[in-house]
Structure 1
Amino acid sequence: MNPLTSVRGAIITGIVLTIVLILVITGQGPELQGVHIDRWIHIVSGITWIGLLYYFNLVQIPGLAAAAADSGGPGGAGVTKYIAPRALLWFRWAAVATWISGAYYLASGYGDHANFIKAITLQPGFRTIGIGAWLGTIMLFNVWVLIWPNQKKILGLVPATDAEKASARKTALYASRTNFILSLPMLLCMGGQSHGLGF
């Protein structure tokens, strides 16, 4: 099987290569020079989630608006039928994987459960990561409570009138743009905690 010919093959090959690299570098279990597997899962799922968030906000939404404005163009039916549902599947489940792996890492990777409490209550020394965790929680809420239910109406996955679809477009857009905005300080906090910006 050529891993370059399918998404599944590429994912499996990437995971196998990661495991081999861990074994070669460390000669042992789940740590790669201090980077735990739970943190690696958090980073990979976070890149998937935020990457798709940026794709939607920087590429797909403006592209569909341009397609709708182009009266002689091909329109956006191909994107809304084939690309958007697949992208939203990866988007919403990457959000869940990011949040769960982040909560697990926060509870276990920072030494003990007391540090988890310090982070979520924004105590000194853990305030940066705590702010990042709260921003990520708000973003997860937006994905599952505001974006996905409204996208189902927009894409015709659930019945909706034209007025309901118009309202759903506005709600989904505002929630997605809110997440786009929140992602910037969230990323600063997530990376900053381990790079000297913990306060």
Structure 2
Amino acid sequence: MAAFLSNLRNTMIVSFIIALVIIAGYRMHYGSFDAIFWQAVFRWLHVIAGIMWIGLLWYFNFVQTRKMPEIPAELKPAVSKYIAPEALFWFRWSAAFTVLMGLILAWDRGYIVQALTLGATEGFSAPGHSFIGLGMWLGLIMAFNVWFIIWPAQKISLGLVDSDADAKAAAGVRGMVASRINTFLSIPMLVCMTMNQTIFG
């Protein structure tokens, strides 16, 4: 068992196989591959990617950024050269996949236009569309920050692209501010995403 669990790839492959068996069980008992079934699948993919995205966002803000000043200078390259680039890979792609699955889910449920307009297209008569739309826009802003502010800044500050010390310092601040904005936005975004399904269905 220890040998199996020590290999992350094999652990995740088996975990996804079990998940697919469970999904097949849902399909067998539900009896259809209709829109409702696919909404359930897209919601699962949206949530699983979102957990990785927000988990890494909170790791960066609650752990790495806070503790880096306390790490001795000779040990910092271990984080900046090995841990941070790997974490940023999963961070940015989980953000993209979360947004993609969320948009597919909204389209499949038939409210993507209503949500993206915050309910304006229906005279704000469906508050569920306004609330989920608010959550979607917060998520879109956060994903924009990931790809167009945080990741370019981190490439500079981590030395993944050539730059001088001043540029690295400025990029580090720029990336930290955008990441902190995302942490700030993540709590209200999650309120919209979690409460909407329960309150409005």
Distance (whole Å) between structure 2 residues aligned to residue 127 and residue 57 of structure 1: 29
| Alignment partner, residue 66 of structure 1 | 70
Mark the runs of 5 or more structure 1 residues left unpaired by the alignment.
Answer: none
- Identify if the C-alpha distance between structure 1 residues 175 and 192 changes in structure 2 by more than 3 Å, giving closer, same or farther: same
**Native 8 Å contact 1:128 1:192 kept in 2:** no
State the TM-score, normalizing by the size of structure 2.
Answer: 0.87
| Alignment partner, residue 181 of structure 1 | 184
User: Is residue 118 of structure 1 aligned with residue 121 of structure 2?
Assistant: no
Q: What do residues 45-101 of structure 1 show as CA deviations (whole Å, max 9, x unaligned)?
A: 00000000000000011111211xx5xx75311111110010000000000000001
| Alignment partner, residue 159 of structure 1 | 162
Aligned amino acid, residue 4 of structure 1: L
Mean alpha-carbon deviation: is it higher for 3-12 or for 176-185?
A: 3-12
Mean alpha-carbon deviation: is it higher for 162-171 or for 117-126?
A: 117-126
The CA RMSD measured in Å over matched residues stands at 2.1
Aligned amino acid, residue 80 of structure 1: S
| Alignment partner, residue 46 of structure 1 | 50
Give 1:135 deviation, angstroms.
0.3
Within 5 Å, which residues of 2 pair with 1:91-102?
91-102=91-102
**Native 8 Å contact 1:23 1:29 kept in 2:** no
Give 1:4 deviation, angstroms.
1.2
| Alignment partner, residue 123 of structure 2 | none
Aligned length: 189
**Native 8 Å contact 2:115 2:130 kept in 1:** yes
Aligned amino acid, residue 75 of structure 2: G
Mark the runs of 5 or more structure 2 residues left unpaired by the alignment.
Answer: 120-125
| Alignment partner, residue 105 of structure 2 | 105
Give 1:24 deviation, angstroms.
3.0
Distance (whole Å) between structure 2 residues aligned to residue 183 and residue 62 of structure 1: 18
State the TM-score, normalizing by the size of structure 1.
Answer: 0.88
Distance (whole Å) between structure 1 residues aligned to residue 174 and residue 26 of structure 2: 48
**Native 8 Å contact 2:27 2:33 kept in 1:** no
Q: What do residues 91-144 of structure 1 show as CA deviations (whole Å, max 9, x unaligned)?
A: 000000000010000110x2x2xx211111111331111000000000011001
Instruction: Provide the identity percentage.
Output: 40
